């Protein structure tokens, strides 16, 4: 396969997965956006976490909330638990890497806050521990997962929301996760600011 054909194949694979996922994920994305807006109305915050590309997604969501998405508005309280290298490395060194998000949630999380937990496999040990910590703090959880949802899907309470991208390709899952994050940002702004 030549390189041009390969690029075309990758574009089509991404488009196909997004098209297939749309009818399944759209109602769940709406529910998640409504949960986030309700939290913001109640003066609650969103803590987000993930590893690798999912860490980037957690930071992307947080930055869109704290600054703005596509429209001018006041900043909304969101914290990515992936950005403080001193905190992450001290927890990993003194305890275990599995605790890098959970320990931050125990310190920062409050009743009614929301955890946005992102893992393409649904099996990231430190994100699983973050969900346990969030539940102990009486936080609600929104998970972005892939594949079969992994162990994270099994941990969720009825009040939590899983947005699962049913694919075995990590790259394709991440592409849809980013689109989901942009949908959440757009729906949050529409609920807070009205239609443009």
Torsion over CA of 184, 188, 194 and 195, rounded to 10 degrees?
Answer: -10
CA distances from 56 to 74, 105, 130 (A): 23, 18, 17
- 93 is known to lie in a ligand binding site: yes
Tell me: is residue 52 an annotated ligand-binding position. yes
- 146 assigned ligand-binding residue: no
Length of the chain: 196
Residue 54 marked as a ligand binder? no
145 is in an annotated binding site: no
Does 94 show up as a binding residue in the annotation?
A: yes
Residue 51 assigned as binding residue: yes
In 3D space, the residue among 20, 28, 32 whose CA is nearest the CA of residue 173 turns out to be 20
CB 137 within 8 A of CB 110: yes
CA angle 35, 39, 44 (to 5 degrees): 150
- Distance (Å, whole) CA 34 – CA 32: 5
48 a known binding residue?
Answer: no
Which token pair is 77? 């309280």
Q: Is 57 annotated as a binding residue?
A: no
Say if residue 53 carries a ligand binding annotation. Answer: yes
What is the rounded distance in angstroms from the CA atom of residue 8 to the CA atom of residue 119?
A: 27
121 in a labelled binding site: yes
Q: Is 126 a known ligand-binding residue?
A: no
Q: Does 109 show up as a binding residue in the annotation? A: no
Please give the annotated binding residues for Zn(2+), written as ranges.
Answer: 60, 64, 174, 182
Please give the annotated binding residues, written as ranges.
Answer: 51-53, 60, 64, 93-94, 119-121, 124, 174, 182
Please give the annotated binding residues for substrate, written as ranges.
Answer: 51-53, 64, 93-94, 119-121, 124, 174
């Amino acid at each position: 396969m030549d390189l041009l054909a390969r690029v075309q194949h990758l574009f089509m694979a991404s488009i196909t997965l997004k098209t297939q996922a749309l009818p399944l994920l759209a109602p769940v994305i709406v529910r998640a956006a409504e949960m986030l807006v309700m939290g913001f109305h109640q003066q609650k915050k969103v803590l987000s976490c993930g590893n690798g590309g999912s860490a980037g997604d957690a930071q992307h969501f947080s930055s869109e909330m704290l600054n703005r998405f596509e429209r001018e508005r006041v900043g909304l309280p969101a914290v990515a638990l992936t950005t403080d290298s001193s905190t992450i490395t001290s927890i990993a060194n003194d305890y275990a890497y599995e605790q890098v998000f959970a320990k931050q949630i125990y310190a920062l999380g409050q009743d009614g806050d929301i955890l946005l937990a992102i893992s393409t496999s649904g099996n990231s040990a430190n994100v699983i521990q973050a969900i346990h910590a969030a539940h102990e703090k009486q936080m609600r959880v929104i998970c972005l997962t892939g594949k079969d949802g992994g162990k994270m899907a099994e941990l969720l309470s009825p009040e939590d929301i899983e947005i699962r991208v049913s694919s075995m390709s990590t790259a394709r899952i991440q592409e849809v996760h980013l689109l989901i994050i942009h949908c959440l940002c757009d729906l949050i702004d529409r609920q807070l600011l009205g239609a443009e």
